[in-house]
Amino acid sequence: MFLTRKLGIAFSFLFLITLAGTMGYHFLEGWSLANSFYATIVTLGTVGFGDFYPITPAGKCFAMFLIIFGVGTMAYTFAVVMDIFMEGRLKKILGRGKLEKQINRMQGHYIICGYGKIGSLICRELAQEKVEFVVADNNPDVIQDIEDKGFIYINGSATEDKTLLNAGIKRAKGVVCALSTDADNLYVVLTAKELNPDVYVLSRFEDDASERRLINAGADRVISPYSVGGMRMSQAILRPAMLDFIEITTRRQSLALRMEELNVCKDSSVVGKNLEESGLRKTYGLIVVAIKKESGQMVFNPIASYVLESGDKLIALGEEDNLVEFSKVCQA
């Protein structure tokens, strides 16, 4: 911002000097405006062709004034332009190097392919949850917005192997395909699974026929934004209170009540205990809505005698602080 202001000032002075030189030669030497402007540019550029030069004493004094102040202004303007150019280049080089170092340090992160309406919302939610992620996109307008948000990104097409490798797909936990077309998302799914067969791939789709293709290509889960949006809108009409409850418990802005997924690790102290013995309800005030077992089976509204096992995923409801505390117990 400071250099931009300096550039504006420099060009203003250069314009005034050029205008003063043109009018000075015109009135003092009697030259036409075109010749006077030409002579001024030649003087400021220190070219000195010799085809136009002042003859009168007043004209010579004016030429000395123009050389002293005009050439200095021209040199200052050139220096500011070069300063801005070098600063931009240097900032770009250093910034790129910093981003590459940050990506190389990442482990178990997510790669968001495409920063459109869907991708930007996903990035916002992940950033709020402090989950590490890298955005892959090559749209210049989008890149500027990503930089303004402070997100880590790769400037390149997500459909290219090089972009995914630079984003650290070998170490990534998951890939989110949020590109605008099903064909591009399908290609990313195939590439991601080829580069890292163990990576979790979530993809969006628009055409119903693409859902099966994406799953066959290796996508672990596919979601249609239109179907999800349509379902939420219909619930807003049919079951507005239920929708309000879901939104309250799933949005981070709600500090009073949240719904969270808690993973039970094998070394956790709650493994082998039932829900009542774990103190989940009595100590932490949490309600378990459902449990997803490691086999994929869902247990809805589990009874108090349900015995917790390693790999269980608890869908729990309660205050955020209590959820965080019990999450530590599950991980310990």
User: What is the C-alpha to C-alpha distance for residues 188 and 217, in angstroms, rounded to an integer?
Assistant: 10
pLDDT at 84 over 60: yes
pLDDT tens for each residue of 212-226:
999 999 999 999 998
| Mean predicted lDDT score pLDDT of the chain | 86
**In a shared domain, residues 187 and 74:** no
CATH of the domain at 192: 3.40.50.720
> Is 259 a residue whose pLDDT tops 90?
no
> 53-63: per-residue pLDDT in tens?
788 888 888 88
For the chain, percent of residues with pLDDT exceeding 70: 92
Place of tokens 């992160």: 109
Across 36-45, 121-130, 227-236, 308-317, least confident range: 36-45
Residue span of the structural domain in which 114 resides: 106-229
Residue 248 lies in a domain: no
Last residue of a domain, one of 99, 124, 156: 99
Supply the pTM of this predicted model.
Answer: 0.63
Under 8 Å between Cβ of 214 and 186: yes
Q: How far does CA 214 lie from the centroid of its chain?
A: 25
If asked whether residues 77 and 144 sit together in one domain, one would say no
Q: Are residues 202 and 303 in the same domain?
A: no
**Per-residue pLDDT tens digits for 275-309:** 999 988 889 999 899 999 988 899 999 999 999 99
Section 233-240 average pLDDT:
90
Q: Would 243 be classed as within a structural domain?
A: no
The answer to the question of residue 205 being in a domain is: yes
Q: Are residues 130 and 212 in the same domain?
A: yes
Over residues 84-98, the mean pLDDT reads 59
pLDDT band of 12, cuts 50, 70, 90: confident
Structure tokens at 181: 């077309």
45 in any annotated domain: yes
| CA-based nearest residue to 188, from 207, 155, 165, 212 | 165
Q: What does the alpha-carbon distance between residue 156 and residue 166 come to, in Å, rounded to a whole number? A: 10
Number of domains in the chain: 3
Shared domain check, 110 and 220: yes
Residue ending a domain, among 99, 128, 150, is 99
> Does residue 17 belong to any structural domain of this protein?
yes
Given a cut of 50, whether residue 1 has pLDDT beyond it is no
Q: What is the pLDDT of residue 175?
A: 96
Question: Which strands form 287-292's sheet, in the order they lie side by side?
Answer: 258-263, 313-318, 287-292, 298-300
Residues 82 and 161 in one domain: no
Q: pLDDT digits over 26-66, tens only?
A: 888 888 888 888 888 888 877 766 676 788 888 888 888 88
158 & 197 share domain: yes
Residue with tokens 């591009």: 184
